Amino acid sequence: MKEFIHRLLKNPALAIEIIIATLLITILSLALPLYTIQILNRYVSYGFHGTLITLTMGMLIAILLQLGFRILRTKMACAVNQGPNDQLSLEVLTIITQAKSEPLDQFSKPRIQEALNSVQTIQNSYDAQNLNALMDAPFSLLFIAATYLLSPLLAGVALVSILIGLFTGWLSIRKSQQNSEQLLMESSKHRNLNYSAVNALDTVRAFSASIFLHHLWQDQLLKISTLQKKLTVTKELSQTLTLSGSSLTNVLLYAVGASLVVKGDLTVGALIGANILAGRASQNITRLVSTGYLLSKAKNAFKEIALMRRLPLEPSAGSSVRVYKGQIEFQDVGFAYPNTAHPVFESVTLNIQPGKAMAVYGRNGTGKTTLAKLLVGLLEPRRGSILADNVNLQQLAWPWWRKQVIYMPQEPTFINGTIRENILFMNPNLEEAVLNNILRATDLKPFLDQTPNGLETPITDNGRNLPLGIRRRLSLARGLVTNGQLVVLDEPTDAMDETGIKAVYQIMNDLMKANKTIIVLSNDPKILRGASLILNLNVKPKPELTYPSIPAPNGG
């Protein structure tokens, strides 16, 4: 409810127009009970056809006017909700795409998907139909007031019925909200399990993990089905009470009204008209309760998004260097992941001059990929600073900085789109001739020539269906399109065949000749022999930095 009010207050003029339209719709809705009263009291009593024609024409005009106002109000309600719904969708997308990597990694991928689904839930709840239902509810008092003019006693019966309906509806919404929160939590766990199983089907089959999965699956499904049953029972009970309450109201209205008719205090037409008025008021309240159910779901969705909103975002603005020459300096850099006993490394101090190459090696888990992510700005040092041409990376605009870097991650992932689109993210307007040179250099041409659509081949499942060697070639090509001055290659020869390894060596030699600054994270002996300085991450906590006396050409 508060969200609807907030949206209306954002556009006061439009809100006033919606209120006026709702008032006119409500007034025109009074035409039917008045028509019924007049038909029964005047036409039936006197049988003058002119009265019937006049009343019917007036009723038809009221119906057409009401239809027009309803259509107009719906369009205005759509306008009220469209902006906030679109803004919320873009906000969540911005959070997911621009949140700092380390805090975002604390959310599982299904949990992030849940946040995206929450946007859809909110959009479905805060729509024109529900806003109209919310606006109609307070105007139900006009129907009660009209009933009061016919019979104060019948108006009292109708009002009490509405208040009881509101109270029972509120209780059922509160009960269902508690169950919905538990169901959301259990469903999230179940989706996590589904996601895990789908992404590891070969593991499930090869290592007979199906028994383990079935056990967890059945336990989760039992909890979910129990909660769903509770929700269904609560909702069904609420609907039953609403229908029973409506029927009881009709019985009471006719019972009390009939006695008034017998006493001569009320006409038959007025009795039927009062019943129509009370029915309209009750209908609006029933719609309000149904809207309340949807808004309670939206409330849970807002809670999910609120957690995402707490994530710190990468700064959208920052400095840039007019011409980045390629110098990189570490000043007492240390890093440790949250909830770990020991740092990955600490006190790293080094200076790489433009055009030089540094090799970083170490066992698995010693921090090679962490160092690469620090250079690209995906992680931030726990202490110390990383400088590019004497400017702290934290002061630079990240979009600008990442265009200065040729980055090849160890585990490349892609967006579902074409191969061309994925390669050209950083430089969509790259000349075709330059792109073809990159494809030849990365040894992608043979693969693309064998695919029917070449560069227009769609990538699905984030590229997981492609061979690992091809994914790594695509990743290298994607990095090369920036033509950045700093080169960061994380295990560039890993999972490559002999042809791919030769292509990597040749690219590194070409980059050295182009006076690029190269940082390669690898245990490849040939790469280590070609470095100007070597960082050994096996030495803990402070890595060992050495300077080979006679560097050999990369690839030897």
- Region 133-146: mean pLDDT is 91
Span 67-90, pLDDT tens digits? 999 999 999 999 998 888 888 888
Which residue did the predictor score with more confidence, 17 or 110? 17
The SS3 assignment for 517 reads strand
- Average pLDDT, integer, range 478-500: 94
pLDDT given at position 293: 79
Please state, as a whole number, how many other Cβ atoms lie within 10 Å of the Cβ of residue 353: 13
HSE of 150, CA atoms in CB hemisphere, 13 A: 34
Q: Is the pLDDT of residue 366 over 50?
A: yes
In this predicted structure, which of 211-220, 500-509, 544-553 has the lowest mean pLDDT?
544-553
Residues 90-99 pLDDT 10s: 888 888 888 8
pLDDT digits (tens, 9 = 90+) for 219-228: 888 888 888 8
Q: Which residue has the higher pLDDT, 44 or 306?
A: 306
| Residue with the larger pLDDT of the pair 319 and 451 | 451
Most confident of 109-113, 126-130, 353-357, 546-550: 353-357
- Residues 280-308 have pLDDT tens digits of 888 888 888 888 878 888 887 888 888 88
Instruction: Tell me: pLDDT of 447 over 90.
Output: yes
Range scoring the smallest mean pLDDT among 10-24, 298-312, 453-467: 298-312
Whole-number average pLDDT of the chain: 88
The pLDDT, as a whole number, for residue 549 is 53
Instruction: Check whether 474 has a pLDDT greater than 80.
Output: yes
| pLDDT computed for residue 508 by the predictor | 95
pTM: 0.76
What residues contact 265, with CB distance under 8 A and at least 6 apart? 151
How many whole angstroms separate alpha carbon 218 and alpha carbon 211? 11
Cα–Cα distance measured from residue 110 to residue 115, given in angstroms and rounded to the nearest whole number: 9
Which two three-digit tokens encode residue 373?
């992510």
Instruction: Report the share of the chain in percent with pLDDT over 90.
Output: 47
| Cβ-based neighbour number of residue 149 at 10 Å | 11
Structural domain spans, the chain: 87-309, 328-546
Mean pLDDT of 532-548: 92
What is the DSSP pairing of strand 405-408 with strand 517-521?
Answer: unpaired
Task: Please report how the helices 140-150 and 268-309 are oriented relative to each other, as an axis angle in degrees rounded to 10.
Answer: 160
Type and span of the H or E element at 227: helix 210-263
Per-residue model confidence (pLDDT) at position 44:
79
Comparison of pLDDT for 7 and 205, the residue scoring more: 7
pLDDT tier at 363, thresholds 50, 70, 90: very high
Rounded average pLDDT over 341-363: 93
More confident residue, 519 or 94: 519
CB atoms within 10 A of CB 308: 20
Q: How far apart are CA 435 and CA 482, in angstroms?
A: 11
Quickly name the fold that domain 87-309 has: ABC transporter transmembrane region fold (1.20.1560)
From 524, 547, 429, 419, select the one nearest 482 (Cα to Cα).
429
C-alpha distances out from residue 222 to 19, 194, 244, Å: 47, 15, 32
Of the options 3.90.1150.10, 3.40.640.10, 3.20.20.450, 3.40.50.300, the CATH number for the domain spanning 328-546? 3.40.50.300
546 pLDDT band (50/70/90 cuts)? Answer: very high
Q: Please answer whether residues 337 and 382 qualify as being in contact, where contact means their C-beta atoms are separated by less than 8 angstroms.
A: no
pLDDT tens profile 243-259: 777 888 888 888 998 99
Confidence of residue 197 (pLDDT cuts 50, 70, 90): confident
